[in-house]
Structure 1
Amino acid sequence: MMISETHGNQSKILTIESLNRRIIAIKYAIRGPIAIRAAEIEQQLKKDDHNFPFDHLIRANAGDCHASGNQVPITYIRQFIAGCSYPPLMETPDFPLDIKCKVESLLSACGGRSLGSYTEAPGIFTIRQDIADYIHRRDGHPSNPEDIYLCDGVTNGIRTVLKLIMNNDLKKPSGVMTPIPQFPLYSATLSEYGIYEIEYYLDEDNNWEVNMEELEKALNKEKDNCVPRCIVVINPGNPTGKKRFSIKN
């Protein structure tokens, strides 16, 4: 609530009518009505007098393996994070030598040997070097750590790239081709940024493959409404599970 200096009356500043219309238009199915209803049912299941013919829910909306109990936490990652966060742990015999070496390598690259110190904008160099070395081993092609930019999760990486490709044409919005079906992050982010979504449908009868004719059809249909800038190919496919796309064309 806020007091108006002019009239002295109270008025709501944030309402559905005053909110950013792009935010209201965002649809994020895996966090939508079904997930909200599931949370309500979970609270009701905690009561002894609930009327449901079951005692627990299995959430399948986000593919959370840890929450479903089907994936044991990876010890290596947790030991590494613990060692970097509290280095005295490395003085105990409870941690293997390879963990201690990795912790030492990272802390040596941090200002003040602290994980909480500020880093270079693209990320800690030694991590980018490790990634470049891995790409070289995996693909047989040299990789430059200076061309690698670290992000705090894939979501922010995708959002950063989408912001970079937006054009400055005030008459037409940027256009991005996105697969259907797709993970809702893309359509939600495009809506938030005011980017025009060019939907192309994956070929369900051909194991959810990308079809060149469908791409051309979708592009020709929408290119007058926007300035096409890029195409999204989710590999491996999400949510289809397609493992490898034939994208040579």
Structure 2
Amino acid sequence: MRRFLFPLLCAAGLLSAGVVSAAEWRVALGVYDQVNSQKNQLSGGLAGFNEALAREICRRAGARCAFSSLEFKAILDGVAQGDYQLGFGNFLRTPEREQRVGFSAPVWRSSSRLIGTPAAAKRFAPDAGGEVQLERLAGARVITISGTAQYRYLQAHAAARGLSIVEMSVLQDAPARLLAGEADFLLAPALSGYALIANLPDGRLQFVGPAVAEHGLGGTVHIALPKGDVSIQKAVDQAIAAIRADGTYQRIVRQFFPFSLD
């Protein structure tokens, strides 16, 4: 009897100590409108994509996840302070950010684009019928989200080119401000921009220039993780590799976007 009782007691001890219990992660999801932020829920577009991806990564890692929706600028602070274990804000990996948080393996690739009305594009295009070139844009009022790579780029060039930065915390109101003539363009990650204008009537707002990945405006996108937490890093990276290998990642992308993110 002792021969069978001892293993059972050991197993019970392990369970009570929590050794085999599932990890519990608090996950911050970036929002692009204040309505869903207040409701703590996400729906379609980029927000929905991030949520679907986060849930699948949690499932593959065997973790129990609690989800919260936050504005972009609050996610890195939350992860750095230990309030959240995963942060989905479509983050590019920069030296400044690496001092505060860790990063997962690459998830997808990002670039930045200008969005505006056809009238604004016509005013600022160097040639009739041509595209607006970000590198040569001057004298324009440009909306961007505070704390982003796009914001830092505009700050670096605003004085020399006479650019006026219209700083916002979320993208929700950007289309209305563009259509009201309060700004000329929005500079945002291309995927965020697509999600923002996809449901607008055709042609009211559009991409007005080519995608730009140089000058820190593009690159691989990562999930923010607690700095130095090897176990979370390993679990998340393995989950990313698994969903890419079996086609789940591509299925999630197709659910929200009509194009590849690779």
| TM-score (norm: length of structure 1) | 0.23
Larger radius of gyration: 1
Larger strand share, 1 or 2: 2
**TM-score normalized by the length of structure 2:** 0.22
Q: RCO higher in 1 or 2 (8 Å CA, sep ≥ 6)?
A: 2
